Structure 1
């Protein structure tokens, strides 16, 4: 890839940026969505489009060539971008979420040398990132081998061995932050070791000791997120790739900064389903049906409620009310999932027979 022409925040206001993204979503991302789902392939062309449009590095600081969106500046615009993409392709949006969340994480926690090195790759070459934790320890029926990684401190760095699952983006990416624990398998969510045992290690995925198993990923939905099983065969991570201090992700409650992204994606997906349903019933000329109108109204209220919550959480972050923002963000994440599923139910019944 060549260097993209990035937006100048002094020239393009947020609405101009969102209008441009909306156009790309309708004209390019939506038409590609079915193919990525049917083939269960990484949405590489979509990321190329974002790069060419200067939208690939939204949360990279302006001094490094990005747009500088973040929790202390304009997090709402970042979440509105996520919302827009989710209207067309939720699997692609999941890959985007991981890529932008890592930009936020690096902005706050990486040292100057790390920022210079990794942001250059994102801005200049369109490199893509994700964060991988997935190490569920409980087995499902038919599962014979365990899942998990171990990390050993060695001279000059760390040795990671084992596997992770739900590795969104997988072989479509260049880098991933591995959330691992020196206390054993389980990473962040399934390890009961002390908080300071959790490390954030940046892994170059071109390392030959890293491999992917696509046969593990056979879902009925979200196929384009290519969340494969990833194997680390004594993978060496140099000490200069340790991000922040041990335990920082848990001790500073970083997950609470990312949960609203899920809510923004649920909101966008609900709007996408609602838009499809509305077009469907208009084509059938059923807008005046009382049952249909009832479901339209319920869907509209759900979407409006999610929109208000999204804006509330963003305002709390942007005005420095961090504890309130964390709590509200978790509530929004929970509520948005419920309302999005409820909206999908209304849309399904809107498009079906009146008897439903």
Structure 2
């Protein structure tokens, strides 16, 4: 595993500013080789540690973890659906420190569409919550083309007229993920920038299976909450308080449970051929559900342990608390749990 000490120090001094992209952190991540960690057949010694890496980065900064998870997601999509030429080019770019992301969220009134004409794809529409903004080198977006959802790779640095719109990004937490709106209207791209076929973006098991990655980042954020709580109690000389010991013990149990889920997720990621598609999807739905529950319990215990001091801007817990509360708001949690129930009814084993 890489030494995360430098990364932790850099994350500690990131301004809590929704317009501030943590460039220093990603330069350090490039130096550590983390931007190429999931490139196939590269850094195989790192690959077995992907989920632990996501956890460690989430512990350092959830905003950085959100951007990094999007980078890993993009490389996975290129691995699954890219042509040999696309894989060779974009994986080489990742090895050289280029940053990728995947942006799918949009408002219905400005949904992204594409039209193929004159050997090119012409884009109209905008995406919201584009984590990383224009600091990203390659944005993978979805566009409706011929009534199918099509992935398109956009080399963002080639389009100087693109702008970051901050009107929708004024969050309570996760500010440094700089998740702005970007309008892609009037962009024209060559057909080789299309990734895979129509509707492959939502192909299972990895459309749902990707939830394992963001759950690992969330758990890292919860680990930072525990550390901040422990540090506070030590500083306040309250380590002998039996109620505080009970709360911290409960947190430790919750965290150990979460880490066992990470271990299983890593095995599935490393050996997907040992599982059916439905098994992977079901596990991902279970994992995101249980990690959400673990994180919410840890937040509650931290709040009880530290009290109002933890809600002061000067307190280390305050931003960690806000960031995790926001990052836990992932789409369709009820549907994920319903799907687990349906799977359980449908499978006797």
TM-score bracket for the superposition, by shorter chain length: 0.7 to 0.9
- State the partner residue of 2:10: 28
Distance in 2 between residues matched to 1:38 and 1:108, nearest whole Å = 35
2:301 to 346, 350, 356: 346
Closer/same/farther in 2, CA of residues 316 and 54 from structure 1, 3 Å limit: closer
2:17 to 13, 38, 57: 38
1:47 to 26, 37, 59: 26
Distance in 2 between residues matched to 1:298 and 1:345, nearest whole Å = 11
Aligned residues: 305
Closer/same/farther in 2, CA of residues 253 and 235 from structure 1, 3 Å limit: farther
Distance in 2 between residues matched to 1:345 and 1:252, nearest whole Å = 34
How far does residue 45 in structure 1 lie from its aligned partner after superposition? 1.1
- State the partner residue of 1:199: 150
Closer/same/farther in 2, CA of residues 50 and 173 from structure 1, 3 Å limit: same
Kept in 1, the 8 Å contact 2:132–2:179? The answer is yes
2:90 to 118, 126, 135: 118
How far does residue 180 in structure 1 lie from its aligned partner after superposition? 1.5
Pairing 1:221-260 to 2, within 5 Å after superposition: 221-260=173-212
2:78 to 106, 124, 132: 106
Kept in 2, the 8 Å contact 1:87–1:272? The answer is yes
Distance in 2 between residues matched to 1:338 and 1:211, nearest whole Å = 37
Kept in 1, the 8 Å contact 2:102–2:141? The answer is yes
Distance in 2 between residues matched to 1:255 and 1:32, nearest whole Å = 34
Determine whether 1:331 maps to 2:331.
no
Q: Unpaired segments of 5 or more residues in structure 2?
A: 309-349
Determine whether 1:170 maps to 2:115.
no
Kept in 2, the 8 Å contact 1:60–1:69? The answer is no
Closer/same/farther in 2, CA of residues 41 and 236 from structure 1, 3 Å limit: same
RMSD: 2.1
Q: 2:184 aligns to what SS in structure 1? A: strand
User: TM-score under structure 1 normalisation?
Assistant: 0.80
Distance in 2 between residues matched to 1:24 and 1:41, nearest whole Å = 19
Closer/same/farther in 2, CA of residues 44 and 322 from structure 1, 3 Å limit: farther
Q: Unpaired segments of 5 or more residues in structure 1?
A: 1-16, 138-145, 184-192
Closer/same/farther in 2, CA of residues 326 and 252 from structure 1, 3 Å limit: closer
Distance in 2 between residues matched to 1:225 and 1:258, nearest whole Å = 19
Distance in 2 between residues matched to 1:241 and 1:314, nearest whole Å = 31
How far does residue 68 in structure 1 lie from its aligned partner after superposition? 4.6
Q: Which has the higher helix share?
A: 2
